[in-house]
């Protein structure tokens, strides 16, 4: 792989630190220093504005705009939607006498931007040598409440040396934000009001008619002169701070955001609710910060991964875990996880199959309610998936490749119409969640219906071959997006087979355990015995291109005959290929974008022998260019399992620091949220060898050569279990009361885990 680190951040175990502002890196830093709380996200931009490329405003999960695509082929989408940046509630214009503060052009020293992962604050500080002589030291602090996600806080500290200065500070909530790519503002202002020490403003997206209320109150620690500041789509105050040499002052602002995702929603109820929240929740900055610290403290106790002997990866993995929790924590079942979280506009804020395949495990082992909510999002959008199946001339429900609201939003038809991994990923996610969390209530209330509808879709989209002996999928595209309109893509066929089988297994159990409910269920879905038999037949006769002799699965029919591409001969300057090769050129060879066969071997890991995994890894890895950031971690997990330890560590090299070191040179566009989730899997499934797809949870840890130890936590069967690995042994412990011993396989041996803990010598490990 041809990736290199662009290292400019200070290495620290709990903080991300940037020293010295750099114009070229400003957008990268804005992404890296993003804050979020699932409900909203805000990039690490300068509150006071900047004369450089910047992306201001906040993103709200589920607030989007729409655009027409003007196409008229059936099944090809005619409109798309994309996340839009909303109110800038951090707006702070600052003048010292007549000079406007702009770090890009003023005389600035001692710049520092610090993200503290222990309390979720972002601090920026610097000294401003003003043209009139005095130096103003400024410190900006912000955080987004994790307990009360509509609320956010900002504090600005000022201190002056070298003379007196009159500072004019305008603070505001401002809807004049511009979408970074479209360079357009998508907001109409519907209402605003000023109060004694605060104001509120409400905006509405122009086409989708969703509402965002944004109110604030502010306080200062000294007597100030202050007045209302009025501008278009803007509600603020102008505050004069007359500071003498050596004096200091602060302004703090508490912001209350309340949204309605409903399209064309009425403005008044949102306004009334927003004002109520403002009145009910008047918490000062310091009290709120204390609560925030406690939140993160509790979170880290269970979720932290400790790495001994590797400070860069230690910082990197904490950054990943921190960003995962900020992006999604199960606060609202109508939210999902965008491929860039709430940190940038690339991928338009859309969620992909990434959610169930890459992100779900993190929540399964830390916050099962969040995992359930992610699946409930799919249940809530089941009708839309049904509509999508009809558009594709199929039955059942087809989940979109990219979406914010359940509708297909991917404007590239070959992805939207030929890739079915989102549907099979939802089925896989249900199985994974139910097996681990044993939530049959969810399974019978929501999961089973989704399974039937997905199976229906698969049965109607697949076909029998021309002699009627085998079933499979024609004209599809697998997760490796470099081959389209292929037949019998092994991933698609295999995952469909498993979906049919699991659906029937669930139906049988439901029929046995809850016959009355089952009868109502079948009636509602018009599910017949014949249809169920058809699912079973499709599964039994699924064409899986496997060669017993070589033990290799052919990625799709005809893959072996494709012109070979020596990927090591592609010049480094050609990457990323999507930008440098014509789109169709990448489809013409054996080159693979990301794991395809290896992906289903990973998902159903325990069903395949080591020989099969080795043969397929050895065959496919050399053909893979890892153009997707989802790719290296899966390869690292396999390399670890296969005893290729230095290769595993090499692939892992990009995982935790993908964005901190801007490996793909596109962090400007936002963080690689899915790759962040994959970094967690890389350690837990890779080095610790966790497997969660079988009847038992199993661990098979190795210690990377460079590390002296590592430790992580999982929540399993209601017990928080810490697992620590050193060169000597693996130690499992828990502070929870464990009423029933928990079965766990460690190095293939079955153990019972209790509160007494377990210690197993690492010498038991066999490669």
Residue in 481, 501, 554, 659 binding ligand BGC, rule: CB under 6 A = 481
Q: Smallest distance, Å, CB 412 to ligand BGC?
A: 11
| Sole window of 119-127, 345-353, 391-399, 640-648 interacting with ligand BGC (rule: CB under 6 A) | 345-353
Q: Which is nearer to ligand BGC, 412 or 562 (CB)?
A: 412
| Sole window of 347-355, 359-367, 380-388, 513-521 interacting with ligand BGC (rule: CB under 6 A) | 347-355
First to last CA, the chain: 26
Contacts of 506 (CB under 8 A, 6+ apart): 443, 447, 448, 451
382 binds ligand BGC (CB under 6 A): no
Q: Smallest distance, Å, CB 309 to ligand BGC?
A: 31
594 binds ligand BGC (CB under 6 A): yes
Q: Which is nearer to ligand BGC, 499 or 628 (CB)?
A: 628
10 Å Cβ neighbour count for 744? Answer: 20
Q: Smallest distance, Å, CB 36 to ligand BGC?
A: 17
Interhelix angle 421-437/448-461, rounded to 10 degrees, is 150
Residue in 60, 218, 352, 363 binding ligand BGC, rule: CB under 6 A = 352
659 binds ligand BGC (CB under 6 A): no
Q: Which is nearer to ligand BGC, 355 or 499 (CB)?
A: 355
Q: Which is nearer to ligand BGC, 186 or 347 (CB)?
A: 347
Q: Which is nearer to ligand BGC, 177 or 594 (CB)?
A: 594
Q: Which is nearer to ligand BGC, 410 or 725 (CB)?
A: 410
| Sole window of 33-41, 93-101, 346-354, 708-716 interacting with ligand BGC (rule: CB under 6 A) | 346-354
Q: Smallest distance, Å, CB 77 to ligand BGC?
A: 17
Long-range pairs for 744-749 at CB < 8 Å and ≥24 separation?
A: 744/696, 744/697, 744/698, 744/699, 745/696, 745/697, 745/698, 745/699, 746/698, 746/699, 746/700, 747/699, 747/700, 748/698, 748/700
479 binds ligand BGC (CB under 6 A): yes
Residue in 339, 398, 476, 730 binding ligand BGC, rule: CB under 6 A = 339
Q: Smallest distance, Å, CB 677 to ligand BGC?
A: 10
Q: Which is nearer to ligand BGC, 576 or 757 (CB)?
A: 576
Residue number of the CB atom closest to ligand BGC: 352
Q: Smallest distance, Å, CB 421 to ligand BGC?
A: 8
- Using a 10 angstrom Cβ sphere, with 0-12 exposed, 13-18 middle and 19 or more buried, the burial of residue 191 is middle
Q: Smallest distance, Å, CB 245 to ligand BGC?
A: 54
Rg (the chain; Cα; Å)? 27
Q: Smallest distance, Å, CB 64 to ligand BGC?
A: 17
Q: Smallest distance, Å, CB 673 to ligand BGC?
A: 8
Alpha-carbon span 736 to 187, nearest angstrom: 50
Q: In what order do the strands lie in the sheet with 187-195?
A: 15-19, 107-116, 121-129, 135-144, 151-161, 248-260, 211-220, 198-205, 187-195
What residue spans of 357-489 are helical by DSSP H?
360-364, 368-380, 382-391, 413-418, 421-437, 440-442, 448-461
Specify which residues 584 forms β-bridges with: none
Give the β-pairing of 40-42 and 35-36: antiparallel
Alpha-carbon span 140 to 92, nearest angstrom: 10
455 binds ligand BGC (CB under 6 A): no
Q: Which is nearer to ligand BGC, 410 or 496 (CB)?
A: 410
DSSP letter (8 states) at residue 659 = T
Q: Smallest distance, Å, CB 503 to ligand BGC?
A: 24
Q: Which is nearer to ligand BGC, 662 or 664 (CB)?
A: 664
Size of the site for ligand BGC (CB under 6 A): 12
Q: Smallest distance, Å, CB 359 to ligand BGC?
A: 10
| Sole window of 18-26, 351-359, 387-395, 455-463 interacting with ligand BGC (rule: CB under 6 A) | 351-359
Peptide bond into 576 cis (omega under 30): yes
Closest CA to 639 of 656, 658, 620, 660: 620
Q: Smallest distance, Å, CB 363 to ligand BGC?
A: 17
Alpha-carbon span 491 to 721, nearest angstrom: 33
Closest CA to 374 of 384, 391, 393, 361: 361
Name residues contacting ligand BGC, limited to 674-713 (CB under 6 A): 674
671 binds ligand BGC (CB under 6 A): no
354 binds ligand BGC (CB under 6 A): yes
Contacts of 269 (CB under 8 A, 6+ apart): 260
| Sign of the torsion formed by the C-alpha atoms of 537, 539, 545 and 548 | negative
Contacts of 185 (CB under 8 A, 6+ apart): 175, 176, 177, 178, 179, 233
Contacts of 386 (CB under 8 A, 6+ apart): 396, 397, 453
Name residues contacting ligand BGC, limited to 496-515 (CB under 6 A): none
Alpha-carbon span 61 to 31, nearest angstrom: 17
Name residues contacting ligand BGC, limited to 596-635 (CB under 6 A): 628, 630
- Using a 10 angstrom Cβ sphere, with 0-12 exposed, 13-18 middle and 19 or more buried, the burial of residue 309 is middle
Q: Smallest distance, Å, CB 358 to ligand BGC?
A: 8
Q: Smallest distance, Å, CB 565 to ligand BGC?
A: 18
Q: Which residues bind ligand BGC (CB under 6 A)?
A: 339, 347, 352-354, 479, 481, 593-594, 628, 630, 674
């Amino acid at each position: 792989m041809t990736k290199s680190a662009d290292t400019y951040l200070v290495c620290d175990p709990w903080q991300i630190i940037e020293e010295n502002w750099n114009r070229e890196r400003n957008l990268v830093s804005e992404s890296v220093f993003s804050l979020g709380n699932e409900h909203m996200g805000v990039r690490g931009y300068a509150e006071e504005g900047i004369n450089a490329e910047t992306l201001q405003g906040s993103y709200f999960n589920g607030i989007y705009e729409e655009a027409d695509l003007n196409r008229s082929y059936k099944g090809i989408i005619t409109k798309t939607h994309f996340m839009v940046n909303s109110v800038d509630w951090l707006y702070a214009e600052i003048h010292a006498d007549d000079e406007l503060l702009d770090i890009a052009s003023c005389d600035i020293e001692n710049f520092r931007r610090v993200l503290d992962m222990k309390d979720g604050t972002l601090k920026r500080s610097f000294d401003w040598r003003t043209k009139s002589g005095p130096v103003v030291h400024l410190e900006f602090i912000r955080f987004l409440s994790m307990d009360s996600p509509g609320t956010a806080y900002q504090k600005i500290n000022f201190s002056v040396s070298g003379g007196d200065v009159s500072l004019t500070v305008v603070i505001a909530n401002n809807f004049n934000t511009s979408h970074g790519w479209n360079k357009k503002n998508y907001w109409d202002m519907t209402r605003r009001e000023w109060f004694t020490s605060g104001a509120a403003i409400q905006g509405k997206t122009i086409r989708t008619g969703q509402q965002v209320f944004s109110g604030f109150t502010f306080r200062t620690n000294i007597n100030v002169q202050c007045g209302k500041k009025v501008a278009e789509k803007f509600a603020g105050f102008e505050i004069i701070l007359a500071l003498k040499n050596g004096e200091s002052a602060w302004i703090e602002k508490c912001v209350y955001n309340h949204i309605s995702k409903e399209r064309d929603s009425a403005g008044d109820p949102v306004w009334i609710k927003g004002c109520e929240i403002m009145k009910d929740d008047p918490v000062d900055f310091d009290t709120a910060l204390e609560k925030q610290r406690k939140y993160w403290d509790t979170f880290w106790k269970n979720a932290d991964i400790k790495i001994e002997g590797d400070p860069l990866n230690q910082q990197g993995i904490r950054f990943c875990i921190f960003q995962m929790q900020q992006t999604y924590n199960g606060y609202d079942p109508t939210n999902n996880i965008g491929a860039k979280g709430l940190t940038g506009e690339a991928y338009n804020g859309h969620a992909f199959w990434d959610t169930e395949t890459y992100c779900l495990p993190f929540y399964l082992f830390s916050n099962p309610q969040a995992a359930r909510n992610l699946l409930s999002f799919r249940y809530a959008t089941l009708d839309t998936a049904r509509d999508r199946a009809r558009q594709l001339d199929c039955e059942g429900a087809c989940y979109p490749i990219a979406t914010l609201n359940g509708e297909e939003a991917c404007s590239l038809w070959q992805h939207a119409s030929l890739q079915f991994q989102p549907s099979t990923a939802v089925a896989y996610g249900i199985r994974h969640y139910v097996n681990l969390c044993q939530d049959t209530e969810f399974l019978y209330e929501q999961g089973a219906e989704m399974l039937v509808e997905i199976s229906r879709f698969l049965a109607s989209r697949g076909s029998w071959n021309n002699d009627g002996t085998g079933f499979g999928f024609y004209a599809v595209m697998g997760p490796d997006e470099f081959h389209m309109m292929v037949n019998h893509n092994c991933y698609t066929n295999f995952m469909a087979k498993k979906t049919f089988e699991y659906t029937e297994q669930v139906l049988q159990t439901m029929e046995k355990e809850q016959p009355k409910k089952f009868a109502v269920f079948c009636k509602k879905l018009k599910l017949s015995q014949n249809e169920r038999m058809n699912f079973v037949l499709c599964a039994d006769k699924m064409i899986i291109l496997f060669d017993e002799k070589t033990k290799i699965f052919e990625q799709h029919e005809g893959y072996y005959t494709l012109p070979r591409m020596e990927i090591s001969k592609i010049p480094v300057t050609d990457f990323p290929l999507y930008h440098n090769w014509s789109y169709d050129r990448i489809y013409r060879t054996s080159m693979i974008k990301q794991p395809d066969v290896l992906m289903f071997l990973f998902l159903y890991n325990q069903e395949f022998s080591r020989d099969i995994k080795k043969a397929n890894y050895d065959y496919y890895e050399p053909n893979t260019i890892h153009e997707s950031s989802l790719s290296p971690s899966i390869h690292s997990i396999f390399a670890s399992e296969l005893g290729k330890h230095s290769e595993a560590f090499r692939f892992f090299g990009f995982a935790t620091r993908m964005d901190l070191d801007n490996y793909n040179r596109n962090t400007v566009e936002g963080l690689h949220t899915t790759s962040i989730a994959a970094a967690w899997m890389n350690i837990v499934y890779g080095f610790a060898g966790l497997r969660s797809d079988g009847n038992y949870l199993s661990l098979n840890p190795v210690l990377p050569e460079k590390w002296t130890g590592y430790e992580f936590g999982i929540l399993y069967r209601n017990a928080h279990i810490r697992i620590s690995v050193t060169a000597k042994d693996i130690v499992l412990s828990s502070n929870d009361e464990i009423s029933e011993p928990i079965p766990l396989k460690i190095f293939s041996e079955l153990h019972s885990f209790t509160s007494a803990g377990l210690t197993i010598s690492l010498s038991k490990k066999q490669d």
